[in-house]
């Protein structure tokens, strides 16, 4: 059984590298060298011949081949125990509460390493009630792709899907990731999309999702609704041309830094996307799908769009679900911080305040 699965993995990986080789020798993709989106080029590329229509009939196909798959990521412990030869039966461990998908770029391996060592390490290498997966597109840089194939083989947490990885293709990444989740993690209770510069307080997220579970059966939760105004300033990161979005206002949507819901909602978004024409801002695009489905953008508390406070033991860290624009070094520092002394001190201060209060009322 073990040998068999190893052989399968080997064959799949060889096939994937072969496809990538073919792909990279035939197609020239443009990838901005510094990794930051080149806004001028992006804005030029955005120019479309005719204006975007609000809906269409099956015009948006996001079914791309999965070059490197990790179909085992949402396997439950009982099936893993069967593979290991000792079946333990079904237990509460078998429930997958949240599966995180983290859109990432081929070149961002150091960010992925830091995320593995910090907040996703609570997944116990993808065996606990929480799971995570990095989703990456392809680039023409052959060496980069080879390193990615190796990284995916050693950590078994990177899925590579066959579209050109670029800033303007983030919508393709989101919808094809959601489709991947519906194929491989459909038994999970919730999914959560999170950018690779976001810090997640996984305990608080699960508490929040459990509390909001009823509203998440008919909506998407996160920092929402975001401002509806369409930005027409060409130097802005969130610029949208009139052709790409003729209307003045966006529908309700949740910030792309982190949003999530049930797998039932993920399935609905994937089906609706076929009839919702492409738009390059992925969070707005998901909002357009919600609008079409008559689903809500549900505001959840604690979704913070600001960086982590300088002091890792600041008490807001435990009270917020997400922090944004967190550098890899800050993530490492946060993870290794020992705040037990500060917490004890805080408890002591609270207690003495309480005693002072008792003394006063006497």
In the complex, what is the shortest distance from the CB of residue 39 to ligand NAG, in angstroms, rounded to a whole number? 13
Nearer to ligand NAG, 202 or 261 (CB): 202
Nearer to ligand NAG, 43 or 169 (CB): 169
In the complex, what is the shortest distance from the CB of residue 230 to ligand NAG, in angstroms, rounded to a whole number? 20
Phi and psi dihedrals of 99, rounded to 5? Answer: -115, 125
Nearer to ligand NAG, 101 or 303 (CB): 101
Nearer to ligand NAG, 64 or 238 (CB): 64
Give me the residues that bind ligand NAG (CB under 6 A), please.
Answer: 45, 61, 63-64, 72-73, 75, 124-127, 155-157, 163-164, 166, 168-169, 172
Tokens of 327: 């550098």
> Which residue matches tokens 């859109």?
103
Nearer to ligand NAG, 153 or 293 (CB): 153
In the complex, what is the shortest distance from the CB of residue 227 to ligand NAG, in angstroms, rounded to a whole number? 25
Tokens of 29: 């993709």
In the complex, what is the shortest distance from the CB of residue 29 to ligand NAG, in angstroms, rounded to a whole number? 7
In the complex, what is the shortest distance from the CB of residue 247 to ligand NAG, in angstroms, rounded to a whole number? 22
Coil, strand, or helix at residue 29? coil
- Cis, peptide link before residue 54, omega less than 30° from 0: no
Tokens of 10: 């080997």
- Cα–Cα distance between 97 and 104 in angstroms, integer? 22
Nearer to ligand NAG, 19 or 213 (CB): 19
Burial class (CB in 10 A: 0-12, 13-18, 19+), 347: exposed
- Strand-strand pairing, 158-164 and 296-299: unpaired
Nearer to ligand NAG, 66 or 194 (CB): 66
Please state at what angle helix 282-293 crosses helix 263-273, rounded to 10 degrees.
90
In the complex, what is the shortest distance from the CB of residue 339 to ligand NAG, in angstroms, rounded to a whole number? 22
In the complex, what is the shortest distance from the CB of residue 297 to ligand NAG, in angstroms, rounded to a whole number? 26
In the complex, what is the shortest distance from the CB of residue 100 to ligand NAG, in angstroms, rounded to a whole number? 13
Which pairs from 286-294 meet CB under 8 Å and 24+ separation?
286/174, 286/220, 286/253, 286/254, 286/256, 286/259, 287/250, 287/251, 287/252, 287/253, 287/254, 288/250, 288/251, 288/253, 290/219, 290/220, 290/251, 290/252, 290/253, 291/251, 291/252, 292/55, 293/268, 293/269
Nearer to ligand NAG, 72 or 215 (CB): 72
Task: Say if CB 103 and CB 195 are below 8 A apart.
Answer: yes
The continuous run of DSSP H or E covering 319 comes out as helix 316-319
């Amino acid at each position: 059984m073990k040998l068999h699965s190893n052989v399968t993995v080997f064959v799949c990986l060889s096939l994937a590298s072969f496809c990538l080789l073919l792909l990279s020798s035939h197609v020239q993709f443009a990838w901005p060298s510094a990794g930051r989106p080149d806004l001028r080029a992006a804005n030029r590329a955005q120019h479309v011949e005719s204006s975007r229509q609000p809906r269409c009939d099956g015009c948006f196909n996001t079914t791309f081949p999965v070059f490197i798959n990790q179909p085992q990521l949402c396997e439950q412990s009982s099936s893993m125990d069967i593979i290991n030869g000792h079946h333990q039966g079904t237990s509460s461990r078998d429930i997958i509460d949240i599966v995180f998908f983290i859109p990432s770029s081929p070149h961002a391996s150091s960010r992925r390493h830091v995320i593995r060592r910090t907040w996703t390490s609570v997944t116990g290498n993808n065996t606990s009630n929480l799971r995570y997966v990095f989703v990456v597109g392809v680039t023409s840089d052959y060496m980069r792709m080879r390193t990615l194939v190796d990284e995916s083989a050693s950590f078994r947490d990177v899925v590579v899907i066959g579209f050109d990885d670029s800033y303007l293709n983030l919508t393709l990444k989101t919808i094809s990731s959601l489709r991947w989740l519906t194929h491989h993690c459909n038994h999970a209770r919730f999914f959560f999309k999170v950018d690779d510069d976001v810090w997640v307080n996984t305990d608080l997220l699960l508490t929040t999702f459990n509390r909001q579970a009823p509203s998440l059966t008919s909506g998407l939760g996160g920092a929402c609704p975001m401002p509806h105004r369409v930005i027409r300033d060409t130097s802005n990161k969130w610029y949208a041309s009139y052709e790409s979005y003729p209307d003045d206002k966006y529908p309700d949507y949740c910030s792309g830094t982190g949003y999530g819901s049930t797998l039932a909602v993920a399935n609905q978004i994937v089906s609706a996307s076929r009839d919702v024409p492409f738009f390059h801002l992925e969070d707005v695009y998901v909002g357009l799908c919600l609008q079409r489905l008559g689903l809500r953008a549900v505001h959840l508390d604690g979704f913070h769009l600001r960086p982590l406070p300088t002091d890792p033991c600041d008490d807001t860290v435990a009270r917020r679900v997400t922090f944004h624009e967190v550098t890899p070094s800050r993530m490492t520092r946060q993870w290794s911080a020992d705040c037990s002394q500060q917490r004890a001190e805080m408890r002591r201060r609270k207690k003495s305040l309480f005693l002072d209060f008792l003394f006063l009322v006497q």
